[in-house]
Amino acid sequence: MTVKEQIEQLRSLLHQHNYNYYVLNTPSISDQEFDSLMRQLQELEEQHPEYQDENSPSVRVGSDINKNFTQVSHKYPMLSLSNTYSEGEVNEFYQRVRKALNEEFEICCEMKYDGTSISLIYEDGKLMRAVTRGDGEKGDDVTDNVKTIKSIPLVLHGNNYPPVFEMRGEILMPWDTFEELNREKEAREEPLFANPRNAASGTLKLQNSSIVASRKLDAYLYYLLGDNLPFDGHYENLQEAKKWGFKISPLMRKCHSTEEIFEFISYWDIERKNLPVATDGIVLKVNSLKQQKTSVLQQNLHDGLSHISFRPKEH
């Protein structure tokens, strides 16, 4: 086996083990074995820089090089969600969708994670760019920092994904990581982060990606955008994207009535306190992408989306 083949085999193995651990939640090797494979890869890449690959698993350790962020325009604007709070407003949202479409529809209910939004651009199965929400029209290119987040795939599985597409999601700092980080800051007598959202946002904008890597950020991906998507259904596209290597929230449900929506909201308003990451509501989406784009629905509700905020609650 040539050196190039050894490097490619190690990269493939590490990508697969990373997918098994972060997406499937079924680790196939121990942490020590994973670290050993990573060291082998790093040594070979250091000895043979001619085989450098910007999507190698080794980039997840980050770099000490400081760099400024470039602003990038979003192909699809990253709009804010309209807020809904009461049972009456949820009913109103449902009835407005029903009236606008005047046909059968499904509502996809999803947990809204409390982090910082990210847009991921993939071309030919490889992560090419990661951009923050910014002002909705333009955001910062934070690709190097995002590559350190192990739950975001650098290279996709399979071959049935569109040649170019965008995946949106939320960058998060788990509660235990947030609390550990604040203990360290307190020991150094530094100002504490107010909440995991601020910690995740601040970490993602650091100029040193090796520090970003050390803070163990996580991510859930929630919206697939582009041409030639596999399905018309938003829910179905996300289930397909999971096969490509994306970490998709399991806390989703397709609903066909307001009763089912309220059942989902009521359950997670209580159970969310047991989740390892912060949440701040439920997002309602018309499941059909075709229905989302109908002019009548666009006029009544932007993209057929609404956000239900939970009552304030301490972790």
Residues with catalytic function: 112
Find where tokens 């994207």 sit: 241
Beta strands, E only, the chain: 71-73, 83-84, 107-113, 116-123, 126-132, 138-140, 164-172, 218-225, 252-255, 279-286, 305-309
Is 92 in a helix, a strand, or coil? helix
Q: What sign for the dihedral angle of Cα 292, 296, 299, 301?
A: negative
Is 186 in a helix, a strand, or coil? helix
Rounded to whole angstroms, the Cα distance separating 128 from 284 reads 29
HSE-CB for 218 with a 13 A CA cutoff: 20
Per the CB < 8 A criterion, the answer to whether 104 and 291 are in contact is no
Residues 6 or more apart whose Cβ sits within 8 Å of residue 137? 73, 74, 77
